[in-house]
Amino acid sequence: MAPLPWPRLLLPIGCFALLLLPPPGAAEFSPSLDSDFTFTLPAGRKECFYQPMRKEASLELEYQVLDGAGLDVDFHLLSPKGETLVFDERKSDGVHTVETEDGDYMFCFDNTFSTISEKVIFFELILDNMGEEGQDQEDWKKYVTGTDLLDMKLEDILESINSVKARLSKSVQIQTLLRAFEARDRNIQESNFDRVNFWSMVNLGVMVVVSAVQVYMLKSLFEDKRKSRT
């Protein structure tokens, strides 16, 4: 597949809370290994984001359409060379994991096929093997002394801490996804509630009109239309 042209970066105002803006005209996430973001994608628009990655790291991206007609959006994931790695056409959600190389990865959400409905989109980035955790461990070792006196190895402490950290991160990730599912389900329920109310009022109006017509027709059947002679 031929590489797609890199579109002009479009960022909503709320992006500045989570994104840094390096030159020229690109946006990257903060060094956090787990980032999530919710934004509104207007009708007929395309929003793109950039994430710098290291070689032999892992990039996992999950997205969901929380609100909007059809609950669908086009999704593109491009490599630093401009090659299309993932293309989802008009899907409501997706999960993708890629092994990365050095460079900026671009992912876009495309709503140009819709001329009326805007979409509310949630996505989460999980970055693995970014090389920061090992450096943190080396820095921590400089401040730890006397482990032989306690008959405890530093590696055991690090293993326990990393295990707790991984489980806490997984718990936070699951809670974030559950909140996203809850938001989408609530939007669907509210939309269905409005539809039920609308058609209930339509049915009620039809029933009133039909009842009035039936009463009129029954009365007309029993009316004596003959003129009385005096």
Higher-pLDDT residue of 161 and 85 is 85
Indicate whether 5 and 98 sit together in one domain: yes
Domain that holds residue 184: 134-223
**Is 47 inside any structural domain?**
yes
The pairing of strands 84-91 and 73-78 is: antiparallel
pLDDT at 30: 41
Domain count, the chain: 2
| Whole-number pLDDT of residue 142 | 59
- Asked if residue 87 belongs to a domain, the reply is yes
Q: What is the mean pLDDT of residues 200-210?
A: 92
Asked if residue 118 and residue 179 are part of one domain, the reply reads: no
The model's pLDDT over 58-111, given as tens digits with 9 standing for 90+, comes to: 898 999 998 888 889 999 999 999 999 999 999 988 989 999 999 999 999 999
Average pLDDT for 223-229 = 62
What pLDDT, on a 0 to 100 scale, did the predictor assign at position 19?
Answer: 40
In whole angstroms, what is the distance from residue 119 CA to residue 111 CA? Answer: 8
Residues 108 and 138 in one domain: no
Give the position of tokens 């959006």: 73
Do 117 and 181 have their domain in common? no
Residue 93 and residue 61 in one domain = yes
Higher model confidence: residue 46 or residue 175?
46
Q: For 136-199, give the DSSP string.
A: HHHHHHTT---TTTTT--HHHHHHHHHHHHHHHHHHHHHHHHHHHHHHHHHHHHHHHHHHHHHH
Quick one: 45 and 13 in the same domain?
A: yes
Give residue 23's pLDDT band: very low, low, confident or very high (50, 70, 90): very low
Q: Of 3-17, 30-44, 141-155, 215-229, where does the model show the most confidence?
A: 30-44
Mean pLDDT (the chain) is 77
Last residue of one domain, picked from the residues 93, 112, 130: 130
Last residue of a domain, one of 90, 106, 130: 130
Position 43 in a domain: yes
Contacts of 139 (CB under 8 A, 6+ apart): none
Domain limit, last residue, from 63, 98, 130: 130
- How many whole angstroms separate alpha carbon 119 and alpha carbon 187? 12
91 and 190, same domain (yes or no): no
Mean pLDDT across 41-54:
92
Q: Are strands 28-29 and 84-91 parallel, antiparallel or unpaired?
A: unpaired
pLDDT of residue 50: 92
- Which among 22, 129, 8, 4 is positioned nearest to 78, based on CA atoms? 4
Does 150 score more than 70 pLDDT?
no
The per-residue pLDDT for 143 is 57
CATH number of the domain where residue 121 is located: 2.60.120.380
- Given a cut of 80, whether residue 153 has pLDDT beyond it is no
Asked if 109 and 190 sit in the same domain, the reply is no
Q: Is residue 229 part of a domain?
A: no
Average pLDDT over residues 41-65: 91
Task: Report the candidate in 132, 138, 84 with the shortest Cα–Cα distance to residue 108.
Answer: 84
Whether 160 is covered by a domain: the verdict is yes
**C-beta of residue 139 within 8 angstroms of C-beta of residue 105:** no
Same domain, 83 and 100: yes
More confident of the two residues 212 and 167: 212
Q: What digits encode the pLDDT tens for the residues 113-122? A: 998 889 999 9
Q: Is residue 230 part of a domain?
A: no
pLDDT band at 225 (very low <50, low <70, confident <90, very high): low
Q: Is the confidence at residue 16, as pLDDT, over 70? A: no
Identify whether residues 47 and 104 lie together within a single domain.
yes
Confidence of residue 131 (pLDDT cuts 50, 70, 90): low
| Whether residue 100 is found in the same domain as residue 143 | no
Tokens 């005209």 sit at which residue?
25
Q: Are residues 53 and 143 in the same domain?
A: no
228: in domain: no
Q: Please check whether residue 8 lies inside any domain of the structure.
A: yes
